[in-house]
């Protein structure tokens, strides 16, 4: 039986309970959650989301921490303190809600501030907290993959894991070698496709990524978890009433995830159909 998941926001403005039900009905076994409070009005308190997913038969694979202020991590003053406190709160609430992994962005945007000792010390303290209370921290590759070289080389950051985002890697030439480079730390996947220029969050097979080849590269890493998508149907206020039904989109998403899983488990030369 396929073990595949998808991010709880997949491009349709629906109550969270309905989105989770649709995800389960499409065949997915697990879900990725957003771990911020920005959507409380629509979705309710985030701390209630894991139990809701589990009641519907979905395993919570990981949660994603807020990242709008991620560059503040490298600020030696109050802004850095505030972002560290935010992440500490996320780690503690994930532990209470029995979420095993929290995904982090440690920078935001194409021109982040210089990395420094202040930020490295913050990450080391966060890693220590996560290890102490049973929440694995996974640092995601974003616009500047070289950030990972610095982060993973810092004292106290040895226990940090790696979240591989295929869309970010494909849109940035420097991201091509990340599965091989940090495969021993790989503990979370954000799989989606694009045209190599924009972060489009397309389904696998809808963009330019060579998925059989990428699946083989992922197969050679230490990762043994589910195939998890961070794809979302294109959305806008103007077109939302004329789009594919969410049931149809999720059915196609599950089929795409199953194909990637097949290639990760068993090499295949078949074309992506």
Answer yes or no: pTM beyond 0.85. yes
pLDDT above 90 as % of the chain = 87
d(Cα 123, Cα 126) in Å, to the nearest integer? 5
> Does pLDDT of 260 surpass 60?
yes
DSSP state of 80: H
Task: Please state, in angstroms and as integers, the Cα–Cα distance from residue 37 to each residue in 33, 49, 123, 153, 203, following that order.
Answer: 12, 12, 22, 32, 27
Strands (DSSP E) found in the chain: 4-7, 30-34, 59-64, 101-104, 136-140, 161-165, 186-190, 227-229
pLDDT for residue 175: 74
87-139 per-position pLDDT tens digit:
999 999 999 999 999 999 999 999 999 999 999 999 999 999 999 999 999 99
**Candidate from 28-32, 42-46, 141-145 with smallest mean pLDDT:** 141-145
d(Cα 99, Cα 136) in Å, to the nearest integer? 9
d(Cα 75, Cα 132) in Å, to the nearest integer? 25
Q: For tokens 């406190």, what's the residue?
A: 85
d(Cα 72, Cα 173) in Å, to the nearest integer? 26
């Amino acid at each position: 039986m396929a073990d595949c998941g998808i991010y709880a926001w997949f491009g349709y403005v629906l109550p969270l309970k309905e989105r989770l039900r649709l995800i389960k009905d499409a065949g997915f076994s697990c879900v990725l959650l957003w771990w911020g409070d920005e959507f409380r009005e629509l979705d309710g308190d985030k701390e209630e989301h894991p139990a809701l997913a589990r009641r519907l038969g979905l395993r919570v694979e990981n949660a994603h921490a807020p990242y709008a202020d991620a560059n503040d991590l490298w600020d030696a003053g109050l802004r850095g303190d505030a972002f560290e406190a935010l992440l500490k709160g996320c780690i503690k609430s994930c532990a209470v809600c029995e979420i095993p992994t929290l995904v982090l962005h440690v920078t935001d945007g194409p021109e982040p501030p210089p990395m420094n000792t202040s930020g490295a010390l913050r990450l080391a303290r966060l890693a220590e907290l996560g290890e102490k209370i049973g929440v694995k921290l996974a640092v995601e590759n974003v616009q500047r993959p070289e950030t990972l070289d610095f982060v993973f080389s810092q004292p106290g950051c040895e226990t940090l894991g790696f979240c591989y985002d295929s869309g970010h890697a494909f849109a940035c030439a420097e991201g091509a070698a990340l599965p091989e480079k940090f495969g021993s730390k790989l503990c979370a996947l954000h799989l989606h496709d694009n045209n190599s220029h924009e972060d489009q969050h397309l389904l696998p097979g809808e963009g330019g990524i060579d998925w059989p080849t990428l699946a083989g590269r992922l197969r050679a890493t230490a990762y043994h978890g589910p195939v998890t998508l961070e794809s979302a149907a294109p959305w806008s206020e103007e077109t939302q009433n004329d789009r594919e039904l969410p049931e149809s989109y999720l059915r196609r998403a599950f089929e795409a995830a199953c194909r990637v899983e097949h290639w990760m488990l068993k090499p295949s030369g078949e074309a992506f159909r």
